[in-house]
Structure 1
Amino acid sequence: MSVLQHRALFAALDECRHEPVAKRIRAELGGATVVDSTRAVLLWEPRRVVPSYAVPEEDIAAHLTPNDVPKSEIPQGVTLASVSDRPVLDPSVPFAVHTVEGRPVDVVTDAGTRPAAGLRLADPDLAGYVVVDFDAFDAWFEEDEPNVSHPRDPFHRVDVLTSSRHVRLELDGMLLAESRRPVLLFETMLPTRYYLRREDVVAPLEPTATRTRCAYKGEASYWSVTVGGRPVPDLAWTYPDPLHEAAHVRDLVCFFTERTDVVVDGRRQERAVTPWS
Protein backbone atom coordinates (compact mmCIF):
# COMPACT_ATOMS: atom_id res chain seq x y z
CA MET A 1 0.00 0.00 0.00
CA SER A 2 1.39 3.39 -0.97
CA VAL A 3 2.03 5.99 1.71
CA LEU A 4 2.27 9.76 1.46
CA GLN A 5 5.92 10.77 1.20
CA HIS A 6 5.66 13.47 3.87
CA ARG A 7 4.16 10.91 6.25
CA ALA A 8 7.09 8.59 5.60
CA LEU A 9 9.55 11.45 6.12
CA PHE A 10 8.05 12.31 9.52
CA ALA A 11 7.35 8.74 10.65
CA ALA A 12 10.31 9.03 13.05
CA LEU A 13 9.16 12.37 14.48
CA ASP A 14 9.16 10.97 18.02
CA GLU A 15 12.78 9.84 17.69
CA CYS A 16 16.07 11.71 17.75
CA ARG A 17 17.23 12.16 14.15
CA HIS A 18 20.47 13.44 12.66
CA GLU A 19 22.08 14.00 9.27
CA PRO A 20 25.75 14.73 8.50
CA VAL A 21 26.54 18.16 7.05
CA ALA A 22 29.04 18.38 4.19
CA LYS A 23 29.48 22.14 4.66
CA ARG A 24 31.96 23.93 6.88
CA ILE A 25 29.94 25.43 9.73
CA ARG A 26 31.15 28.43 11.75
CA ALA A 27 29.67 30.58 14.52
CA GLU A 28 30.89 33.86 15.99
CA LEU A 29 30.43 35.24 19.49
CA GLY A 30 31.85 38.54 20.67
CA GLY A 31 33.80 38.98 17.45
CA ALA A 32 35.59 35.62 17.73
CA THR A 33 34.99 32.36 15.90
CA VAL A 34 33.81 29.94 18.59
CA VAL A 35 32.50 27.09 16.43
CA ASP A 36 34.43 25.91 13.36
CA SER A 37 33.60 22.44 12.12
CA THR A 38 33.58 20.31 8.98
CA ARG A 39 32.04 17.45 10.98
CA ALA A 40 28.78 19.03 12.04
CA VAL A 41 25.48 17.21 11.98
CA LEU A 42 21.96 18.51 11.85
CA LEU A 43 20.04 17.24 14.86
CA TRP A 44 16.26 17.09 15.15
CA GLU A 45 15.21 16.44 18.73
CA PRO A 46 12.06 14.34 19.12
CA ARG A 47 8.95 16.27 17.99
CA ARG A 48 10.98 19.21 16.65
CA VAL A 49 10.54 20.14 12.98
CA VAL A 50 13.53 22.50 12.73
CA PRO A 51 17.07 21.17 13.28
CA SER A 52 19.95 22.46 15.37
CA TYR A 53 23.67 22.15 14.73
CA ALA A 54 25.61 19.61 16.75
CA VAL A 55 29.40 19.63 16.51
CA PRO A 56 32.24 17.65 18.08
CA GLU A 57 33.31 19.19 21.38
CA GLU A 58 36.86 19.72 20.09
CA ASP A 59 35.49 21.98 17.33
CA ILE A 60 34.27 24.48 19.94
CA ALA A 61 36.91 27.07 20.93
CA ALA A 62 35.46 27.69 24.39
CA HIS A 63 34.99 26.10 27.78
CA LEU A 64 31.94 23.90 28.31
CA THR A 65 30.72 24.48 31.85
CA PRO A 66 27.97 22.24 33.27
CA ASN A 67 24.70 24.09 33.78
CA ASP A 68 22.37 22.39 36.22
CA VAL A 69 19.30 24.50 35.50
CA PRO A 70 16.00 22.69 36.10
CA LYS A 71 14.66 20.93 33.04
CA SER A 72 12.18 23.08 31.13
CA GLU A 73 8.63 21.83 30.80
CA ILE A 74 7.84 20.52 27.34
CA PRO A 75 4.90 22.43 25.80
CA GLN A 76 2.01 20.71 24.12
CA GLY A 77 3.06 22.00 20.72
CA VAL A 78 0.97 22.73 17.65
CA THR A 79 -0.73 20.28 15.29
CA LEU A 80 0.40 20.57 11.67
CA ALA A 81 -1.70 18.26 9.52
CA SER A 82 0.94 18.30 6.77
CA VAL A 83 3.51 16.90 9.20
CA SER A 84 1.99 14.65 11.84
CA ASP A 85 -1.17 13.88 13.78
CA ARG A 86 0.81 14.54 16.95
CA PRO A 87 1.55 18.13 18.05
CA VAL A 88 5.04 19.24 17.01
CA LEU A 89 7.48 21.74 18.49
CA ASP A 90 7.84 24.66 16.08
CA PRO A 91 10.75 27.17 16.04
CA SER A 92 9.07 29.38 18.66
CA VAL A 93 9.82 26.73 21.32
CA PRO A 94 13.13 27.85 22.90
CA PHE A 95 16.35 25.86 22.78
CA ALA A 96 16.21 25.23 26.54
CA VAL A 97 13.28 22.85 25.98
CA HIS A 98 14.93 19.51 25.24
CA THR A 99 13.28 16.23 24.26
CA VAL A 100 16.57 14.36 23.93
CA GLU A 101 18.79 13.14 26.77
CA GLY A 102 21.93 15.10 27.52
CA ARG A 103 23.77 17.38 29.93
CA PRO A 104 23.13 21.15 29.61
CA VAL A 105 26.32 23.21 29.35
CA ASP A 106 27.31 26.85 29.00
CA VAL A 107 29.69 27.71 26.16
CA VAL A 108 32.06 30.19 27.84
CA THR A 109 34.81 32.08 26.01
CA ASP A 110 38.01 33.52 27.49
CA ALA A 111 36.93 36.96 26.26
CA GLY A 112 34.22 37.09 28.91
CA THR A 113 31.33 37.35 26.45
CA ARG A 114 27.88 36.18 27.47
CA PRO A 115 27.70 32.37 27.58
CA ALA A 116 25.85 30.43 24.91
CA ALA A 117 23.71 27.41 25.71
CA GLY A 118 24.60 23.91 24.65
CA LEU A 119 23.67 20.30 25.33
CA ARG A 120 26.27 17.54 25.57
CA LEU A 121 24.44 14.62 23.98
CA ALA A 122 24.00 11.29 25.75
CA ASP A 123 23.12 9.37 22.56
CA PRO A 124 25.91 6.80 21.91
CA ASP A 125 25.64 7.37 18.16
CA LEU A 126 26.55 11.03 18.77
CA ALA A 127 29.14 10.58 21.50
CA GLY A 128 31.33 13.65 21.88
CA TYR A 129 28.85 15.94 20.10
CA VAL A 130 27.35 19.09 21.58
CA VAL A 131 24.15 20.72 20.33
CA VAL A 132 24.44 24.51 20.39
CA ASP A 133 21.82 27.23 20.60
CA PHE A 134 21.73 28.98 17.21
CA ASP A 135 20.14 32.14 18.64
CA ALA A 136 22.82 32.55 21.32
CA PHE A 137 25.55 33.35 18.78
CA ASP A 138 26.13 36.62 16.94
CA ALA A 139 26.54 35.16 13.46
CA TRP A 140 26.54 31.82 11.65
CA PHE A 141 28.12 30.81 8.34
CA GLU A 142 27.74 27.88 5.98
CA GLU A 143 31.10 27.97 4.19
CA ASP A 144 31.39 31.78 3.70
CA GLU A 145 27.68 32.51 3.32
CA PRO A 146 25.76 33.98 6.30
CA ASN A 147 23.02 31.78 7.71
CA VAL A 148 20.08 33.40 9.52
CA SER A 149 17.24 32.27 11.78
CA HIS A 150 18.15 28.58 12.06
CA PRO A 151 20.15 25.88 10.25
CA ARG A 152 18.94 25.10 6.74
CA ASP A 153 17.24 21.73 6.39
CA PRO A 154 18.31 19.71 3.30
CA PHE A 155 14.84 18.13 3.25
CA HIS A 156 13.13 21.53 3.18
CA ARG A 157 12.78 23.56 0.01
CA VAL A 158 11.25 26.73 -1.39
CA ASP A 159 9.86 26.96 -4.93
CA VAL A 160 8.79 30.35 -6.33
CA LEU A 161 6.63 30.28 -9.47
CA THR A 162 4.83 32.94 -11.49
CA SER A 163 1.16 32.13 -12.06
CA SER A 164 -1.95 33.29 -13.90
CA ARG A 165 -4.37 32.02 -11.24
CA HIS A 166 -7.06 34.42 -10.11
CA VAL A 167 -6.38 35.09 -6.43
CA ARG A 168 -8.69 37.11 -4.20
CA LEU A 169 -8.04 37.81 -0.51
CA GLU A 170 -10.72 39.04 1.87
CA LEU A 171 -11.21 39.62 5.57
CA ASP A 172 -14.62 40.08 7.21
CA GLY A 173 -16.11 40.51 3.74
CA MET A 174 -13.70 43.31 2.80
CA LEU A 175 -11.50 42.93 -0.26
CA LEU A 176 -7.81 43.12 0.62
CA ALA A 177 -6.19 42.26 -2.70
CA GLU A 178 -6.97 40.69 -6.05
CA SER A 179 -4.64 39.53 -8.80
CA ARG A 180 -4.36 37.44 -11.95
CA ARG A 181 -0.56 37.61 -11.87
CA PRO A 182 0.42 36.30 -8.43
CA VAL A 183 3.76 34.79 -7.55
CA LEU A 184 3.23 31.56 -5.68
CA LEU A 185 5.71 30.40 -3.06
CA PHE A 186 5.61 26.73 -2.14
CA GLU A 187 7.52 25.83 1.02
CA THR A 188 7.79 22.45 2.70
CA MET A 189 5.28 22.01 5.57
CA LEU A 190 3.64 25.40 4.97
CA PRO A 191 0.54 26.48 3.02
CA THR A 192 0.93 28.07 -0.40
CA ARG A 193 1.82 31.74 -0.10
CA TYR A 194 0.43 34.24 -2.60
CA TYR A 195 2.78 37.17 -3.24
CA LEU A 196 1.15 40.13 -4.98
CA ARG A 197 2.28 43.39 -6.53
CA ARG A 198 1.55 46.48 -4.50
CA GLU A 199 -0.83 47.81 -7.16
CA ASP A 200 -2.97 44.66 -6.77
CA VAL A 201 -3.46 45.36 -3.04
CA VAL A 202 -6.51 47.56 -2.45
CA ALA A 203 -6.46 47.66 1.36
CA PRO A 204 -4.36 50.46 2.86
CA LEU A 205 -1.09 49.18 4.29
CA GLU A 206 0.69 50.71 7.26
CA PRO A 207 4.27 49.62 8.03
CA THR A 208 5.00 48.24 11.49
CA ALA A 209 8.23 47.75 13.42
CA THR A 210 7.93 43.96 13.31
CA ARG A 211 10.76 42.05 11.66
CA THR A 212 11.22 38.30 11.31
CA ARG A 213 13.94 36.22 9.69
CA CYS A 214 13.70 33.02 7.68
CA ALA A 215 16.63 30.75 6.86
CA TYR A 216 15.36 30.37 3.28
CA LYS A 217 13.87 33.78 2.47
CA GLY A 218 15.70 36.36 4.59
CA GLU A 219 14.32 39.23 6.68
CA ALA A 220 10.67 40.27 6.36
CA SER A 221 9.08 43.60 7.25
CA TYR A 222 5.39 43.75 8.16
CA TRP A 223 2.21 45.69 7.37
CA SER A 224 -0.95 46.35 9.34
CA VAL A 225 -4.33 46.63 7.64
CA THR A 226 -7.45 48.48 8.81
CA VAL A 227 -10.61 46.43 8.25
CA GLY A 228 -13.97 48.01 9.07
CA GLY A 229 -12.27 50.61 11.23
CA ARG A 230 -10.40 47.90 13.14
CA PRO A 231 -6.60 47.75 12.78
CA VAL A 232 -5.25 44.26 12.17
CA PRO A 233 -1.53 44.32 13.02
CA ASP A 234 1.08 42.42 11.03
CA LEU A 235 -1.39 40.83 8.63
CA ALA A 236 0.98 41.01 5.66
CA TRP A 237 4.70 41.07 5.01
CA THR A 238 7.31 41.90 2.39
CA TYR A 239 10.86 40.71 1.72
CA PRO A 240 12.74 43.85 0.55
CA ASP A 241 16.03 41.97 0.15
CA PRO A 242 15.31 38.23 -0.05
CA LEU A 243 17.84 35.42 -0.14
CA HIS A 244 18.68 33.57 -3.35
CA GLU A 245 15.86 31.02 -3.17
CA ALA A 246 13.20 33.71 -2.85
CA ALA A 247 14.60 36.44 -5.11
CA HIS A 248 11.41 36.57 -7.21
CA VAL A 249 9.24 37.77 -4.28
CA ARG A 250 11.31 40.92 -3.71
CA ASP A 251 9.05 43.83 -2.64
CA LEU A 252 5.85 41.81 -3.19
CA VAL A 253 3.13 41.67 -0.51
CA CYS A 254 1.92 38.45 1.09
CA PHE A 255 -1.00 38.10 3.51
CA PHE A 256 -1.33 35.41 6.17
CA THR A 257 -3.67 32.89 4.57
CA GLU A 258 -4.21 31.47 8.06
CA ARG A 259 -5.94 34.73 9.04
CA THR A 260 -7.64 35.78 5.81
CA ASP A 261 -10.16 34.30 3.37
CA VAL A 262 -8.54 33.20 0.12
CA VAL A 263 -10.40 32.47 -3.10
CA VAL A 264 -8.39 30.88 -5.92
CA ASP A 265 -10.01 30.55 -9.36
CA GLY A 266 -13.40 30.99 -7.74
CA ARG A 267 -12.90 28.35 -5.05
CA ARG A 268 -12.68 29.42 -1.42
CA GLN A 269 -9.74 27.78 0.36
CA GLU A 270 -9.82 26.32 3.85
CA ARG A 271 -7.76 28.29 6.34
CA ALA A 272 -4.56 26.42 7.13
CA VAL A 273 -3.53 25.75 10.70
CA THR A 274 0.07 26.73 11.47
CA PRO A 275 1.92 28.40 14.37
CA TRP A 276 0.80 31.73 12.85
CA SER A 277 -2.93 30.96 12.83
Structure 2
Amino acid sequence: MATRISHLLNQALPTLRYEPTSKRVRASLGGQPVLDTTHAVLIWEPRRTVPIYAVPETDVLADLAESRAEAMRAPDEAMVLTPDDAFALHTSDGTALDVQVPGHALEAAAFRLADPDLPGMVLLDFRAFDWLEEDQPIHAHPRDPFCRIDIIPSSRAVRVELEGMVLAESAHPVVLFETLLPPRYYLRSAEVRWDVLVATETSSMCPYKGTANYWAPASGGRNVAWSYAKPLPESAAIAGLVAFYHERTDLLVDGHRLGRPDSPFR
Protein backbone atom coordinates (compact mmCIF):
# COMPACT_ATOMS: atom_id res chain seq x y z
CA MET A 1 0.00 0.00 0.00
CA ALA A 2 1.35 3.41 -0.94
CA THR A 3 2.15 5.89 1.83
CA ARG A 4 1.84 9.64 1.51
CA ILE A 5 4.98 11.28 2.92
CA SER A 6 3.13 14.25 4.43
CA HIS A 7 1.05 11.76 6.42
CA LEU A 8 4.22 10.15 7.75
CA LEU A 9 5.55 13.53 8.84
CA ASN A 10 2.29 14.42 10.56
CA GLN A 11 2.11 11.03 12.27
CA ALA A 12 5.50 11.76 13.87
CA LEU A 13 4.28 15.04 15.40
CA PRO A 14 3.44 13.52 18.82
CA THR A 15 6.96 12.07 19.18
CA LEU A 16 10.35 13.49 20.17
CA ARG A 17 12.23 13.84 16.86
CA TYR A 18 15.85 14.71 16.13
CA GLU A 19 18.29 15.10 13.26
CA PRO A 20 22.05 15.72 13.59
CA THR A 21 23.63 18.56 11.62
CA SER A 22 27.19 19.04 10.38
CA LYS A 23 27.04 22.83 10.80
CA ARG A 24 29.19 24.63 13.34
CA VAL A 25 26.67 26.25 15.69
CA ARG A 26 27.42 29.07 18.14
CA ALA A 27 25.31 31.16 20.50
CA SER A 28 26.06 34.20 22.62
CA LEU A 29 24.36 36.44 25.16
CA GLY A 30 25.30 40.09 25.45
CA GLY A 31 28.51 39.36 23.53
CA GLN A 32 29.46 36.54 25.91
CA PRO A 33 29.84 33.06 24.35
CA VAL A 34 27.23 30.53 25.44
CA LEU A 35 28.09 27.54 23.25
CA ASP A 36 30.32 26.48 20.38
CA THR A 37 29.79 23.07 18.84
CA THR A 38 30.10 20.96 15.70
CA HIS A 39 27.84 18.30 17.25
CA ALA A 40 24.50 20.10 17.34
CA VAL A 41 21.24 18.24 16.89
CA LEU A 42 17.96 19.66 15.62
CA ILE A 43 15.19 18.76 18.05
CA TRP A 44 11.44 18.79 17.60
CA GLU A 45 9.75 18.21 20.95
CA PRO A 46 6.42 16.39 20.70
CA ARG A 47 3.77 18.60 19.06
CA ARG A 48 6.37 21.24 18.10
CA THR A 49 6.18 22.25 14.44
CA VAL A 50 9.67 23.77 14.10
CA PRO A 51 13.06 22.65 15.41
CA ILE A 52 15.50 24.25 17.84
CA TYR A 53 19.05 23.24 18.70
CA ALA A 54 20.25 20.83 21.31
CA VAL A 55 24.00 20.58 21.97
CA PRO A 56 26.23 18.38 24.10
CA GLU A 57 26.40 19.83 27.59
CA THR A 58 30.19 19.62 27.33
CA ASP A 59 30.07 22.20 24.50
CA VAL A 60 28.15 24.74 26.57
CA LEU A 61 30.51 27.52 27.62
CA ALA A 62 28.07 29.21 30.00
CA ASP A 63 27.37 28.00 33.52
CA LEU A 64 24.33 25.77 33.86
CA ALA A 65 22.49 25.23 37.13
CA GLU A 66 19.31 23.32 37.88
CA SER A 67 16.55 25.89 37.86
CA ARG A 68 14.21 26.60 40.73
CA ALA A 69 11.55 27.13 38.08
CA GLU A 70 9.77 23.88 37.36
CA ALA A 71 9.63 22.78 33.76
CA MET A 72 6.16 23.56 32.45
CA ARG A 73 4.15 20.95 30.60
CA ALA A 74 2.19 22.06 27.57
CA PRO A 75 -1.56 21.52 28.04
CA ASP A 76 -2.96 18.44 26.34
CA GLU A 77 -5.53 20.52 24.49
CA ALA A 78 -2.71 22.30 22.62
CA MET A 79 -2.60 20.00 19.60
CA VAL A 80 0.42 21.75 18.09
CA LEU A 81 2.99 24.22 19.40
CA THR A 82 4.29 26.91 17.06
CA PRO A 83 7.27 29.30 17.39
CA ASP A 84 4.89 31.69 19.20
CA ASP A 85 4.60 29.26 22.12
CA ALA A 86 7.09 29.73 24.95
CA PHE A 87 10.25 27.61 25.19
CA ALA A 88 9.23 26.83 28.79
CA LEU A 89 6.29 24.75 27.54
CA HIS A 90 7.99 21.37 27.29
CA THR A 91 6.41 18.19 25.99
CA SER A 92 9.29 15.82 26.74
CA ASP A 93 10.86 14.71 30.00
CA GLY A 94 13.85 16.62 31.32
CA THR A 95 15.19 19.24 33.71
CA ALA A 96 14.99 23.02 33.40
CA LEU A 97 18.35 24.78 33.72
CA ASP A 98 19.38 28.39 34.34
CA VAL A 99 22.04 29.83 32.02
CA GLN A 100 24.64 32.22 33.43
CA VAL A 101 27.39 34.24 31.75
CA PRO A 102 29.20 37.26 33.21
CA GLY A 103 26.60 39.99 33.67
CA HIS A 104 23.64 37.87 32.60
CA ALA A 105 21.48 35.15 34.13
CA LEU A 106 18.50 33.60 32.36
CA GLU A 107 16.08 31.44 34.29
CA ALA A 108 15.08 28.12 32.70
CA ALA A 109 16.63 29.09 29.34
CA ALA A 110 18.01 25.57 28.90
CA PHE A 111 16.50 22.11 29.22
CA ARG A 112 18.41 18.88 29.81
CA LEU A 113 16.64 16.11 27.91
CA ALA A 114 16.01 12.84 29.73
CA ASP A 115 15.65 10.71 26.59
CA PRO A 116 18.10 7.76 26.53
CA ASP A 117 18.73 8.25 22.80
CA LEU A 118 19.97 11.81 23.44
CA PRO A 119 22.28 11.47 26.45
CA GLY A 120 23.98 14.64 27.62
CA MET A 121 22.05 16.87 25.20
CA VAL A 122 20.76 20.27 26.29
CA LEU A 123 18.12 22.35 24.52
CA LEU A 124 18.63 26.14 24.44
CA ASP A 125 15.87 28.73 24.21
CA PHE A 126 16.40 30.04 20.68
CA ARG A 127 14.87 33.45 21.39
CA ALA A 128 17.13 34.09 24.38
CA PHE A 129 20.44 34.15 22.48
CA ASP A 130 22.18 35.36 19.34
CA TRP A 131 22.92 32.45 16.99
CA LEU A 132 25.36 31.65 14.22
CA GLU A 133 25.43 28.75 11.80
CA GLU A 134 29.04 28.76 10.65
CA ASP A 135 29.50 32.59 10.31
CA GLN A 136 25.92 33.44 9.32
CA PRO A 137 23.42 34.86 11.83
CA ILE A 138 20.12 32.97 11.99
CA HIS A 139 16.80 34.22 13.29
CA ALA A 140 13.37 32.97 14.38
CA HIS A 141 14.39 29.29 14.54
CA PRO A 142 16.83 26.97 12.75
CA ARG A 143 15.83 25.97 9.26
CA ASP A 144 14.08 22.64 8.95
CA PRO A 145 16.11 20.39 6.60
CA PHE A 146 12.86 18.69 5.57
CA CYS A 147 11.11 21.94 4.60
CA ARG A 148 11.29 23.46 1.13
CA ILE A 149 9.99 26.72 -0.33
CA ASP A 150 9.24 27.30 -4.03
CA ILE A 151 8.14 30.73 -5.31
CA ILE A 152 6.50 30.54 -8.73
CA PRO A 153 4.70 33.17 -10.88
CA SER A 154 1.20 32.12 -11.96
CA SER A 155 -1.63 33.19 -14.26
CA ARG A 156 -4.37 31.80 -12.02
CA ALA A 157 -7.22 34.18 -11.19
CA VAL A 158 -7.29 34.79 -7.43
CA ARG A 159 -9.85 36.65 -5.34
CA VAL A 160 -9.77 37.06 -1.56
CA GLU A 161 -13.02 37.75 0.30
CA LEU A 162 -14.07 38.21 3.91
CA GLU A 163 -17.73 37.92 4.78
CA GLY A 164 -18.61 38.68 1.16
CA MET A 165 -16.34 41.72 0.88
CA VAL A 166 -13.51 41.61 -1.68
CA LEU A 167 -10.11 42.27 -0.07
CA ALA A 168 -7.91 41.69 -3.10
CA GLU A 169 -8.01 40.32 -6.64
CA SER A 170 -5.31 39.34 -9.13
CA ALA A 171 -4.83 37.59 -12.45
CA HIS A 172 -1.07 37.28 -11.98
CA PRO A 173 -0.26 36.12 -8.45
CA VAL A 174 3.03 34.75 -7.23
CA VAL A 175 2.49 31.44 -5.45
CA LEU A 176 4.68 30.35 -2.55
CA PHE A 177 4.67 26.62 -1.86
CA GLU A 178 6.02 25.60 1.57
CA THR A 179 6.20 22.05 2.89
CA LEU A 180 3.13 21.04 4.94
CA LEU A 181 1.47 24.48 4.59
CA PRO A 182 -1.23 25.64 2.17
CA PRO A 183 -0.05 27.50 -0.95
CA ARG A 184 0.22 31.24 -0.30
CA TYR A 185 -0.91 33.56 -3.08
CA TYR A 186 1.08 36.81 -3.07
CA LEU A 187 -0.54 39.77 -4.81
CA ARG A 188 0.75 43.16 -5.91
CA SER A 189 0.02 46.07 -3.59
CA ALA A 190 -2.13 47.78 -6.23
CA GLU A 191 -4.40 44.71 -6.28
CA VAL A 192 -5.26 45.02 -2.57
CA ARG A 193 -8.16 47.07 -1.19
CA TRP A 194 -6.24 49.03 1.44
CA ASP A 195 -9.35 51.02 2.35
CA VAL A 196 -10.76 47.97 4.16
CA LEU A 197 -7.54 46.98 5.94
CA VAL A 198 -5.57 48.54 8.77
CA ALA A 199 -1.91 47.99 9.68
CA THR A 200 -1.26 46.34 13.05
CA GLU A 201 1.79 46.35 15.29
CA THR A 202 2.32 42.64 14.73
CA SER A 203 5.53 41.44 13.13
CA SER A 204 7.10 38.02 12.81
CA MET A 205 10.38 36.59 11.61
CA CYS A 206 10.78 33.60 9.32
CA PRO A 207 14.19 31.97 8.75
CA TYR A 208 13.30 31.41 5.08
CA LYS A 209 11.62 34.72 4.20
CA GLY A 210 12.59 37.41 6.72
CA THR A 211 10.48 39.87 8.75
CA ALA A 212 6.78 40.27 7.98
CA ASN A 213 4.33 43.03 8.83
CA TYR A 214 0.58 42.45 9.18
CA TRP A 215 -2.87 43.93 8.46
CA ALA A 216 -6.28 43.26 9.97
CA PRO A 217 -9.77 44.14 8.71
CA ALA A 218 -10.64 47.77 9.39
CA SER A 219 -13.86 46.46 10.92
CA GLY A 220 -11.84 44.57 13.57
CA GLY A 221 -10.60 41.06 14.13
CA ARG A 222 -7.43 39.05 13.71
CA ASN A 223 -4.65 39.68 11.21
CA VAL A 224 -5.58 38.48 7.74
CA ALA A 225 -2.70 39.72 5.53
CA TRP A 226 1.06 40.13 5.63
CA SER A 227 3.98 41.30 3.52
CA TYR A 228 7.78 41.09 3.48
CA ALA A 229 9.12 44.53 2.56
CA LYS A 230 12.73 43.34 2.53
CA PRO A 231 12.76 39.54 2.39
CA LEU A 232 15.86 37.40 2.62
CA PRO A 233 17.72 37.05 -0.71
CA GLU A 234 16.34 33.59 -1.50
CA SER A 235 12.77 34.96 -1.18
CA ALA A 236 13.33 38.22 -3.09
CA ALA A 237 10.51 37.34 -5.50
CA ILE A 238 7.87 38.21 -2.88
CA ALA A 239 9.34 41.60 -1.89
CA GLY A 240 6.48 44.05 -1.29
CA LEU A 241 3.79 41.55 -2.32
CA VAL A 242 0.84 40.81 -0.02
CA ALA A 243 -0.49 37.41 1.06
CA PHE A 244 -3.68 36.52 2.93
CA TYR A 245 -4.42 33.82 5.46
CA HIS A 246 -6.49 31.27 3.58
CA GLU A 247 -7.42 29.97 7.05
CA ARG A 248 -9.16 33.27 7.95
CA THR A 249 -10.50 34.51 4.61
CA ASP A 250 -12.35 33.02 1.65
CA LEU A 251 -10.10 32.25 -1.31
CA LEU A 252 -11.35 31.78 -4.85
CA VAL A 253 -8.90 30.39 -7.43
CA ASP A 254 -10.00 30.31 -11.08
CA GLY A 255 -13.56 30.85 -9.89
CA HIS A 256 -13.56 27.93 -7.44
CA ARG A 257 -14.10 28.71 -3.76
CA LEU A 258 -11.61 26.71 -1.71
CA GLY A 259 -12.32 25.28 1.71
CA ARG A 260 -10.40 26.77 4.62
CA PRO A 261 -7.39 24.57 5.41
CA ASP A 262 -6.58 23.09 8.78
CA SER A 263 -3.24 24.55 9.88
CA PRO A 264 -1.63 26.09 12.99
CA PHE A 265 -2.74 29.53 11.71
CA ARG A 266 -6.47 28.83 11.63
**TM (normalized to structure 2)?**
0.93
Shift of 1:154: 0.2
Select 2:143's aligned residue among 152, 162, 184.
Answer: 152
Select 1:235's aligned residue among 224, 228, 235.
Answer: 224
Kept after mapping to 2: 8 A contact 1:168/1:263: yes
CA RMSD of aligned residues (A): 1.8
Shift of 1:233: 5.2
Select 1:212's aligned residue among 195, 200, 204.
Answer: 204
Amino acid at match of 2:86: P
Amino acid at match of 2:72: S
Kept after mapping to 1: 8 A contact 2:73/2:91: no
User: Is 2:92 the partner of 1:92?
Assistant: no
User: Is 2:156 the partner of 1:165?
Assistant: yes
Shift of 1:77: 5.0
Amino acid at match of 1:166: A
Q: 2:265 aligns to what?
A: 276
Kept after mapping to 2: 8 A contact 1:108/1:116: no
SS of residue in 1 equivalent to 2:89: coil
Q: 2:169 aligns to what?
A: 178
Identical positions, percent: 49
Matches within 5 A, 1:14-25: 14-25=14-25
Kept after mapping to 1: 8 A contact 2:69/2:107: no
Residues 247, 77 of structure 1: CA spacing in aligned structure 2 closer, same or farther, 3 A cutoff?
A: farther
Separation of aligned partners in 2, 1:27 and 1:77:
33
Select 1:125's aligned residue among 117, 124, 149.
Answer: 117
Residues 174, 202 of structure 1: CA spacing in aligned structure 2 closer, same or farther, 3 A cutoff?
A: same
Separation of aligned partners in 2, 1:142 and 1:52:
12
Equivalenced residues, count = 265
User: Is 2:241 the partner of 1:267?
Assistant: no
Kept after mapping to 2: 8 A contact 1:165/1:264: yes
Kept after mapping to 2: 8 A contact 1:159/1:245: no
Shift of 1:69: 2.3
Residues 65, 274 of structure 1: CA spacing in aligned structure 2 closer, same or farther, 3 A cutoff?
A: same
The gaps in structure 1 that reach 5 residues or longer are 79-86
CA deviation string 1:114-159 (max 9, x = no partner): 456111122222212111110111x211112221111111001111
Please say which of residues 191-200 and 29-38 is displaced more in the overlay. 29-38
Kept after mapping to 1: 8 A contact 2:158/2:254: yes
Separation of aligned partners in 2, 1:122 and 1:10:
24
User: Is 2:47 the partner of 1:47?
Assistant: yes
**TM (normalized to structure 1)?**
0.89
Separation of aligned partners in 2, 1:146 and 1:253:
26
CA deviation string 1:157-176 (max 9, x = no partner): 11111100000111111111
Residues 103, 232 of structure 1: CA spacing in aligned structure 2 closer, same or farther, 3 A cutoff?
A: closer
CA deviation string 1:198-242 (max 9, x = no partner): 11113424332221111211100122333xxx2445321110111
